[in-house]
């Protein structure tokens, strides 16, 4: 068989179907009998930590996303094995929502990857894990703690409440090379759609999960190219609203402190709402990737569906659809049953 571009596209599509979102048996209330206080312990730790750090909701939400979005390495031979033996396929070497970003295993640790730059919240997960180990030793996985903490973080920011299917087990691999293909602020909309498709997520889910930028901040480092190097001659991205441009350049002056933080949602940085979608339409997107959502016909239709005049009566519910998207994201390549392990501490393999 000659391996052509058409074959590659077919392989990618089939891999997306087979591996994008695991069919493993997660369920709401997985710990109801083995550790009934599990979710309340995580919630108490998250709520307590948020008292001293108002940015914690965005931090924990980002941690969940980065834990799930790691690379799937799939050679052609492996692809054939997946297709032929899918139900018997051991996904130990397929990374996803398995707590791999939490591990400290030296210089190769996944958390050291450039794509994970600025990801925080590890100590919150570790605190919750310590309390869970005291209450229910060896029962609750670190990967489930990450997913539950993100849910509680969204609630703290006045976002939608939802139930998290649990039962994940922790991965035994953590390597920075697996995070080399994370979504990047300079990615085109086509690249972003492809990266999400590889995880079994569609264009609508790309918009919804990008809308999580409604809370939190980003560093000026990620704005430099968009403000000062986007077009020849040092011109900025023309999609930035002219009213917004001087605000951004004042916050992030050329050759200024690249670590200065800028809210990603100009109007409601600590409230989880759909304001960021209106910002994107009006040219007030802070990140280039968010702005790109309105340059593509497919994703533009999704954005418009949530902010149109008739949306409150006839349109889809942003909150409900976001919940579906993040729950689906939380199932990417999970390990259950005999796969993986339940770590005693989240920063180290057993």
Q: Residue 203 domain-assigned?
A: yes
**Binding-site residue set for heme b:** 213
Instruction: Decide which of 161, 182, 203 is a domain's last residue.
Output: 182
State the catalytic residues. 66
What number of CA atoms fall less than 13 Å from residue 184's CA on the CB side?
12
Instruction: Judge if 171 and 221 occupy the same domain.
Output: no
172 and 60 belong to one structural domain? yes
Check: CB of residue 261 under 8 Å from CB of residue 301.
Answer: no
Extract the annotated binding site: 67, 70, 96, 98, 100, 110, 183, 213-214, 265, 273
Residues 63, 179 contacting (CB under 8 angstroms) = no
The secondary element (H helix, E strand) that includes residue 135 is: helix 122-135
Asked if 168 and 282 sit in the same domain, the reply is no
Coil/strand/helix, residue 31: coil
Last residue of a domain, one of 166, 182, 198: 182
Q: What separation in angstroms does the CA of 164 have from each of 10, 202, 268, 328?
A: 32, 21, 26, 10
In this structure, are 279 and 137 located in the same domain? no
pLDDT at position 21, please? 52
Query: 278 and 167 in one domain?
Result: no
* 1 within domain boundaries: no
Strand partners, 341: 170
- With CA atoms as reference, report the closest residue to 123 among 114, 106, 134, 111: 111
CB 201 within 8 A of CB 134: no
User: What pLDDT shows up at residue 180?
Assistant: 82
User: Of 182, 207, 227, which closes a domain?
Assistant: 182
What confidence score (pLDDT) does residue 89 get? 43
Position 106 scores a pLDDT of 94
- Is 87's pLDDT higher than 50? no
Q: How does the average pLDDT of the chain come out, rounded?
A: 89
C-beta neighbour count of 266 within 10 angstroms: 19
Regarding whether 154 and 95 lie in a shared domain, the answer is yes
Q: Which of 73-77, 214-218, 262-266 has the lowest mean pLDDT?
A: 73-77
CA distances from 105 to 29, 110, 158, 333, 347 (A): 32, 9, 36, 22, 8
132, part of any domain: yes
126 and 60 belong to one structural domain: yes
**The domain that contains 229 carries what CATH number?**
1.10.420.10
**Which of 12-26, 90-104, 127-141 shows the highest mean pLDDT?**
127-141
Q: Which residues are annotated as a binding site for substrate?
A: 183
- Domain presence at residue 126: yes
Q: Are residues 198 and 172 in the same domain?
A: no
Residues 24 and 168 in one domain: yes
Q: How many domains does the chain have?
A: 2
SS3 of 262, please? Answer: strand
> What are the φ and ψ backbone dihedral angles of 231, each rounded to 5 degrees?
-120, 160
Domain that holds residue 162: 12-182
**Same domain, residue pair 318 and 232:** yes
CATH label of the domain that carries residue 75: 1.10.520.10
* Residue 220 resides in a domain: yes
């Amino acid at each position: 068989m000659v391996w052509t571009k058409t074959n590659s596209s077919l392989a990618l599509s089939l891999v997306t179907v087979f591996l994008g979102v695991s069919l493993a048996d997660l369920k709401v209330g997985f710990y109801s009998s083995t550790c009934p206080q599990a979710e309340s312990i995580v919630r108490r730790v998250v709520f307590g930590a948020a008292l001293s750090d108002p940015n914690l909701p965005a931090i924990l939400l980002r941690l969940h996303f980065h834990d799930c979005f790691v690379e799937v390495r799939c050679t052609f031979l492996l692809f054939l094995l997946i297709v032929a033996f899918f139900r018997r396929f051991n996904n130990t070497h397929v990374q996803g929502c398995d707590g791999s970003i939490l591990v400290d295993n030296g210089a190769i640790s996944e958390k050291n990857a450039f794509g994970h730059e600025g990801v925080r919240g590890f100590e919150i997960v570790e605190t919750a894990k310590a309390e869970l180990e005291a209450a229910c030793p060896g029962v609750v996985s670190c990967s489930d703690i990450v997913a539950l903490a993100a849910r509680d973080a969204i609630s703290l920011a006045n976002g939608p409440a939802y139930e998290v299917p649990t039962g994940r087990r922790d991965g035994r691999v953590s390597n920075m090379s697996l995070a080399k293909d994370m979504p990047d602020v300079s990615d085109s909309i086509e690249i972003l759609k492809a990266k999400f498709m590889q995880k079994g997520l569609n264009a609508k889910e790309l918009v919804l999960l990008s809308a999580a930028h409604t809370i939190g901040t980003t560093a000026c480092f990620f704005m430099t190219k968009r403000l000062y190097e986007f077009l020849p001659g040092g011109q900025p991205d023309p999609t930035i609203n002219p009213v917004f441009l001087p605000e951004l350049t004042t916050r992030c002056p050329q050759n200024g402190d690249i670590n200065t933080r800028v809210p990603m949602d100009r109007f409601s940085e600590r409230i989880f709402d759909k304001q960021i979608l209106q910002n994107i339409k009006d040219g007030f997107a802070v990140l280039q990737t968010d702005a790109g959502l309105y340059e593509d016909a497919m994703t533009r239709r999704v954005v418009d569906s949530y902010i149109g005049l008739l949306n409150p009566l006839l349109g889809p519910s942003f909150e409900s659809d976001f919940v579906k998207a993040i729950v689906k994201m939380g199932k990417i390549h999970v390990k259950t049953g005999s796969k993986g392990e339940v770590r005693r501490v989240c920063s180290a393999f057993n």
